[in-house]
Structure 1
Amino acid sequence: MIKAMTKTQLVAAIADAMGADKKTASAALDAVAAVVSREVAAGGSVMLPGLGKMVCRERPERQVRNPATGETVTKAADKQVKFAIAKALKDSVNA
């Protein structure tokens, strides 16, 4: 199994791809993460070109079952973040 890329490795790869230093790449990555978080938390969606679309969806109140006890309880309405993979990314992975 391949290990996930760490933030340090991602920042180094971005810096290399941009031809910039790691401080600039880290600031850019942090800025993108902040904008995406703010927009999705506000109920919007963000399209990341070549990667996919991140969207926040409302989930209604529902009945759930505790697998340990079998007890059914009511779970309050909440929000869930979904990420739909772009076709271009799917095609590049499966090529």
Structure 2
Amino acid sequence: MICGCFYLYMKKTDLILNLSDSSDLSKIDAKIAVEVILQELTQGIVSGQGIEIRGFGGFYKKHRKPRQGINPKTSERTQVGEKFVPFFKPGKLLKEIVNKT
């Protein structure tokens, strides 16, 4: 627990407020910082280069092959086309911290 807050999930606005509260940044500057970080992460993933943050993990673009899918409601089989999906691989330090709690 880094910020002293419990969340089922953290929204972007919560992240901005926590960043602002834990630093000398105003809420506007914290919002700009979060927006820039998310924009750079997105560009890194989309470009195929990926982003690696040592100790935290890496963000990549993964290719999924075409496959046979099943509609759970009707049990109808359909063809799912190939696509790229964003992928996160946690780093060693993050895995260790998560497993301690």
Band the TM-score falls in, shorter-chain normalisation: 0.7 to 0.9
User: How has the CA–CA distance of structure 1 residues 21 and 49 changed in structure 2, closer, same or farther, with 3 Å as cutoff?
Assistant: farther
Q: How does 1:39-78 map to 2 (within 5 A)?
A: 39-78=44-83
Q: How does 1:13-32 map to 2 (within 5 A)?
A: 13-32=18-37
Which structure 2 residue ranges, 5 or more long, are not aligned? 1-5
Q: CA offsets, 1:1-25, max 9 Å, x none?
A: 9432232221122123332111111
Aligned match of 1:10: 15
- 2:43 pairs, out of 38, 56, 69, with 38
Q: CA offsets, 1:39-92, max 9 Å, x none?
A: 211222111233211111111111111222222211111111111111111212
Aligned match of 2:93: 88
Aligned match of 2:3: none
Quote the sequence identity (%).
25
* 2:22 alignment partner, SS class: helix
